[in-house]
């Protein structure tokens, strides 16, 4: 049948909707009709463009039902992270602690005192709920929270650099995810970027020579997603603060990842710690909530009260503000650092610090679940994990993984099937499918085993 004939055989909308009567109760007749019309229009356009499609009533009904299921299926859903990348940007970065998740749920399901001062019976500030806690932990004079660290940097520069020059080392003009670049942020903020030094070497005198009557701030950016190796030299934060304060120039530090925990025991030595940075006397510092802090997505700004107060009055603050769920989750995350329970309570820190002995036991447990499945061969192997999320580049953690082969299917095809049908995200190493147990949550091993059992049975 040619395309012109197929166009004549396209089902009429009313007939198609009548045939889909069994879907009315679940989706409503109006939605079924809308999807039916869209499907017929799509098929008509396909045929007119020279393409091909099945115009039989049964095929069109199946296509409409598939589209309805896709519309009503939750697009954001849980996946199993078997990649070993702890802060996997594409998988939502940090997994919240149980305490933080419960706090966010409670806030979501209730009215809250987000901007209401219960003691005064009047409007309050949403920042009052968490500022004191952040200041207590960091030792800062003041603090505020916005929706991510990029917004934090934008707000800082918009407040402090508008109409002024900001001095930055060329070696720190980074680009983060989504082509978000420091020079472009500077341009949007209304400040003028003054580049000093070179990509690999910047000296104290580079900053000193750049100072003039229009210098508004020094900006230091932690290059959290890359490293320059070899013949290098950079001005430390301490040196920059010393120069800045000697000339009455404030120093801004975009720290990035936000590390409070001690990760030295697992070989992470170069990632700057928030408390050490604050001890230098830096005027304003910002960091992420959903990276090494292990909390929800947020940008946390700490520093001198006079500067933070100006930021709170900046019109951009309203555009960058966070909601009640973020405040609740962040508050509970920070309390884990205050009470010293972060190693046990915050999944990000627990995963990074998990000893090889525990990983070995977890891998053997998964292998044991797989050994009785016909057609599945598995072995525990030594592998390397990454922290991820633009943090600690070049640092690889010793880990354990389970290498799996399923009879009748290639590693690439198996990876695709697990990803698309079971939301299990793993990786291929040396042409073999592997599940890194570092990032598995409780019960994930059983879900992996069940998925492999079903796949093996399908292939048998």
Whichever domain contains 164, its CATH number is 3.40.640.10
Asked if 109 and 222 sit in the same domain, the reply is yes
383-421: per-residue pLDDT in tens?
999 998 777 777 889 999 999 999 999 999 999 999 999
Partners of residue 436 on adjacent β-strands: 401
The reply to whether 240 and 297 lie within a common domain is yes
Residue 92 lies in a domain: no
Q: Is residue 405 part of a domain?
A: yes
My answer on whether 281 and 367 are in the same domain is: no
65: pLDDT strictly greater than 80: yes
Contact indicator for 381, 388 with CB cutoff of 8 Å:
no
pLDDT (mean) for 316-324? 93
The count of domains in the chain is 3
Structural domain span for residue 55: 3-72
178: pLDDT strictly greater than 60 = no
- The pLDDT tens digits of the residues spanning 348-383 come to 999 999 999 999 999 999 999 999 899 999 999 999
Mean pLDDT, the chain, rounded, equals 91
Identify whether the C-beta of residue 301 lies closer than 8 Å to the C-beta of residue 274.
Answer: no
Higher pLDDT, 66 or 171: 66
Q: Which of 308, 323, 345 is the last residue of a domain?
A: 345
Task: Tell me if 367 is assigned to some domain.
Answer: yes
Let me know if residue 124 belongs to a domain: yes
The yes-or-no verdict on residue 293 having pLDDT over 70 is yes
Q: What is the largest CA-CA distance in the chain?
A: 84
Share of the chain above pLDDT 90, in %: 72
Asked if residue 93 belongs to a domain, the reply is no
In this structure, the answer to whether residues 32 and 125 fall within a common structural domain is no
Share of the chain above pLDDT 70, in %: 97
Q: Provide φ and ψ at 455, rounded to 5°.
A: -65, -45
CA–chain centroid gap for 246, Å, is: 38
**189/159 Cα distance (integer angstroms):** 8
Instruction: Using alpha carbons, select from 337, 324, 329, 274 the residue that is nearest to residue 301.
Output: 274
Considering the entire predicted model, what is its pTM?
0.88
Q: What's the rounded Cα separation, in Å, for the pair 351 and 347?
A: 6
Give the model's pLDDT for residue 189.
Answer: 77
Pairing of strands 180-181, 142-146: unpaired
Query: Quick one: angle between helices 324-338 and 98-108, nearest 10?
Result: 150
- For residue 271, the model assigns a pLDDT of 82
State whether 325 and 363 are in the same domain: no
* Count of CB atoms situated within 10 Å of the CB of 450: 13
Residues 107 and 177 in one domain: yes
Q: Residue 81: how many CB atoms within 10 A of its CB?
A: 24
Confidence bin at 237 (pLDDT 50/70/90) = very high
Q: Quote the pLDDT of residue 197.
A: 86
185 and 286 inside one domain:
yes
Q: What is the pLDDT of residues 203-229, one digit of tens each?
A: 999 999 999 999 999 999 887 656 666
Domain of 365, CATH number, reads 3.90.1150.180
Q: How far apart are CA 365 and CA 359, in angstroms?
A: 10
Q: How would residue 256 be classed by pLDDT, with cut points 50, 70 and 90?
A: confident
Residue 412 burial (C-beta neighbours within 10 Å; 0-12, 13-18, 19+): exposed
Statement to judge: residues 357 and 339 lie in one domain: no
Least confident stretch, 206-220, 266-280, 296-310, 329-343: 266-280
Q: Are residues 102 and 56 in the same domain?
A: no
Give the separation between CA 44 and CA 441, rounded to whole angstroms.
47
């Amino acid at each position: 049948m040619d395309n012109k004939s197929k166009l004549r055989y396209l089902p009429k909308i009313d007939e198609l909707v009548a045939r889909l009567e069994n879907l009315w109760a679940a989706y409503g007749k109006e939605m079924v009709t809308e999807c039916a019309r869209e499907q017929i229009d799509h098929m008509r356009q396909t045929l007119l463009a020279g393409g091909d499609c099945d115009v039989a009533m049964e095929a069109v009904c199946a296509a409409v039902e598939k589209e309805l299921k896709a519309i009503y299926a939750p697009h954001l859903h849980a996946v199993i992270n078997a990649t070993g990348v702890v802060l996997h940007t594409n998988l939502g970065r940090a997994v919240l602690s149980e305490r933080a998740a419960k706090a966010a749920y409670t806030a979501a399901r209730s009215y809250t005192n987000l901007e209401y001062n219960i003691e005064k019976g009047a409007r309050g500030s949403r920042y009052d709920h968490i500022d004191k806690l952040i200041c207590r932990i960091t030792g800062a004079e003041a603090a505020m929270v916005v929706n991510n660290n990029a917004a934090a940097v934008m707000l800082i520069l918009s407040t402090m650099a508008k109409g002024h020059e900001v001095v930055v080392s060329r070696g720190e003009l980074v680009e983060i995810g989504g082509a978000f670049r420091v020079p472009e942020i500077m341009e949007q903020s209304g400040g003028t970027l003054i580049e000093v030094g070179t990509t690999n070497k910047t000296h104290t005198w580079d900053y000193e020579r750049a100072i003039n009557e229009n210098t508004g701030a020094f900006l230091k950016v932690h290059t959290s997603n890359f490293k320059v190796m070899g013949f290098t030299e950079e001005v430390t934060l301490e040196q920059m603060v010393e120069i800045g304060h000697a000339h009455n120039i404030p120093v801004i530090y975009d720290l990035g990842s936000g590390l409070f925990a001690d990760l030295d025991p697992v070989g992470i030595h170069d990632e700057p710690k928030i408390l050490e940075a604050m001890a230098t006397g830096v005027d304003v510092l910002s960091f992420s909530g959903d990276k090494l802090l292990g909390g929800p997505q947020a940008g946390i700004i700490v520093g001198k009260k006079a500067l933070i107060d100006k930021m709170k009055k900046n019109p951009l603050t309203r555009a960058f503000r966070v909601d009640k769920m973020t405040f609740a989750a962040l508050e509970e995350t920070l309390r884990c650092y205050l009470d010293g329970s972060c190693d046990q309570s915050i999944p990000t820190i627990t995963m990074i610090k998990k000893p090889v002995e525990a990983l070995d036991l977890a891998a053997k447990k998964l292998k044991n679940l797989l050994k009785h499945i016909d057609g599945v061969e598995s072995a525990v192997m030594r592998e390397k994990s990454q922290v991820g999320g633009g943090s600690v580049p070049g640092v690889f953690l010793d880990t354990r993984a389970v290498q799996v082969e399923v009879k009748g299917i290639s590693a690439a095809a198996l990876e695709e099937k697990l990803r698309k049908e079971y939301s299990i995200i793993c990786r291929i190493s040396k042409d073999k499918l592997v599940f890194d147990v570092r990032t598995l949550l409780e019960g994930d091993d059983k879900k992996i085993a069940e998925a492999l059992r079903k796949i093996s049975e399908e292939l048998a």
